[in-house]
């Protein structure tokens, strides 16, 4: 079937595509950093696109945002100070603030327009922006981490666009070294690491190597479905400053004290299982 102009399509490597049927384009603008588009789709609610890549849809963003926040936060023994790099749509921030033990969550996105448009078109993701524990900054995440005080952050969540344009440096050993310095004892970093089917050689493998080269002692990749991202299968990679990536607050995850739609303790355990092809690549 050939698609007409009533569809938004994102293709990856010229070999695979994902399309959503569009009712109307609600907004388009070029910021100093990137082109942002917002659509109303027929079946997936609203859709945010940055530089031609799907960022989120109303229908399936809950999986991504919960998996960027909860596994890493339940893996840390006592996460108090959380730093989100990117994440301007505020969906990850909302999930982080569901943890009562978090005293402060700082979100640093380079592009204020992403947040302002999210407030307008995805208000449910911005529910927690007025939480007194939330701090929204608009700056380059690379510069922010470089100037962070040593040992001041418990968890860093890198919720960025793909490694092109302003996000490129967020996938580098130099950035991970700065993150390691900013993290305190038991510190953890998590970063979205794309599709195991499409990006194992180009992103997941190099990310493991760079995190270890920067000094992280343990690195593990977790898996989850994400219909609106290329191949429908997505990952996040967690790295531990000391020891191993454990499941320190497993009991709290079992007795979840807040509402979730995807995450639970069983999902957490299952998400860490590594498929054979990826295990061979990561150990090779
Ligand atoms: N869930 C999305 C995905 O995986 O496609 C990511 C969503 S979030 C909107 C990505 C954010 O990263 C964007 O708002 C963008 O402005 C931000 N970003 C890109 N490079 C950045 C940098 N160097 N510092 C801070 N934020 C950055």
Query: Is residue 2 in some structural domain?
Result: no
96 with 105: CB under 8 angstroms?
yes
Query: Is residue 53 in some structural domain?
Result: yes
The sign of the torsion formed by the CA atoms of 147, 148, 151, 155 equals: negative
Catalytic residue among 154, 159, 178, 186: 159
Residue 167: per-residue pLDDT: 94
User: What is the full per-residue pLDDT of the chain (284 aa) written as tens digits?
Assistant: 677 889 999 999 999 999 999 999 999 999 999 999 999 999 999 999 999 999 999 999 999 999 999 999 999 999 999 999 999 999 999 999 999 999 999 999 999 999 999 999 999 999 999 999 999 999 999 999 999 999 999 999 999 998 888 999 999 999 999 999 999 999 999 999 999 999 999 999 999 999 999 999 999 999 999 999 999 999 999 999 998 999 999 999 999 999 999 999 999 999 999 999 999 999 86
Query: Is residue 16 in some structural domain?
Result: yes
Same domain, 278 and 178: yes
Q: ipTM exceeding 0.95? A: yes
Active-site residue, 159 included: yes
Query: What spacing in Å lies between the alpha carbon of 1 and ligand 1's midpoint?
Result: 33
**Residue bearing the CA closest to ligand 1, atom 2:** 55
Query: What tokens does 261 get?
Result: 């739609």
Same domain, 196 and 279: yes
Find the domain containing 74 and state its range.
61-283
Angle at 114 between CA 226 and CA 271, to 5 degrees: 25
Residue 284: per-residue pLDDT: 66
Q: Which residue, among 49, 25, 37, has the nearest Cα to 161 in the 3D structure?
A: 49
Residue 4: per-residue pLDDT: 80
Q: Which residue, among 117, 50, 64, 57, has the nearest Cα to 94 in the 3D structure?
A: 64
CA 40/CA 186 separation, integer angstroms: 42
Ligand 1 pocket test target in 86, 141, 158 with most atoms within 8 Å of CB = 86
Same domain, 37 and 74: no
Query: Is the CB of residue 230 below 6 angstroms from any atom belonging to ligand 1?
Result: no
The half-sphere exposure of 197 on its side-chain side, counting CA atoms within 13 A, is: 13
Domain count, the chain: 2
Same domain, 125 and 17: no
């Amino acid at each position: 079937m050939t698609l007409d102009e009533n569809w938004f399509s994102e293709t990856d490597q010229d070999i695979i595509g994902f399309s959503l049927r569009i009712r109307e384009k609600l907004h388009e603008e070029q910021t100093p950093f990137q082109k942002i588009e917002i659509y109303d789709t027929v079946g997936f609610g609203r859709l945010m696109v940055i530089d031609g890549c799907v960022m989120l849809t109303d229908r399936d963003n809950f999986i991504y945002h919960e998996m960027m926040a909860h596994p890493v936060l339940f893996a840390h023994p006592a996460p108090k100070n959380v730093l989100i790099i990117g994440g301007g749509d505020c969906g990850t921030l909302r999930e982080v603030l569901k943890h009562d033990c978090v005293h402060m969550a700082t979100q640093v996105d380079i592009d204020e327009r992403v947040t302002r448009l999210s407030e307008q078109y995805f208000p449910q993701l911005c529910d927690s922006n007025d939480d007194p524990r939330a701090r929204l900054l608009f700056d380059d995440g690379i510069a922010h981490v470089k100037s962070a005080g040593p040992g001041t952050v418990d968890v860093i969540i890198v919720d960025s666009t793909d490694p092109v344009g302003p996000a490129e440096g967020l996938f580098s050993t130099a950035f991970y070294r700065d993150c390691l310095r900013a993290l305190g004892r038991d510190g953890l970093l998590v970063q979205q690491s794309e599709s195991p089917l499409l990006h194992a050689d180009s992103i997941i493998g190099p990310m493991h190597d760079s995190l270890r080269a920067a000094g992280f002692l343990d690195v593990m990749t977790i898996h989850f479905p994400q219909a609106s991202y290329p191949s429908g299968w997505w990952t996040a990679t967690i790295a531990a400053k000391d020891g191993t990536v454990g499941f320190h607050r497993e009991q709290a995850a079992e007795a979840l004290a807040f509402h979730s739609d995807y995450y639970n303790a069983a999902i957490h355990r299952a998400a860490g299982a590594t498929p054979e092809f990826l295990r061979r690549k990561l150990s090779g």
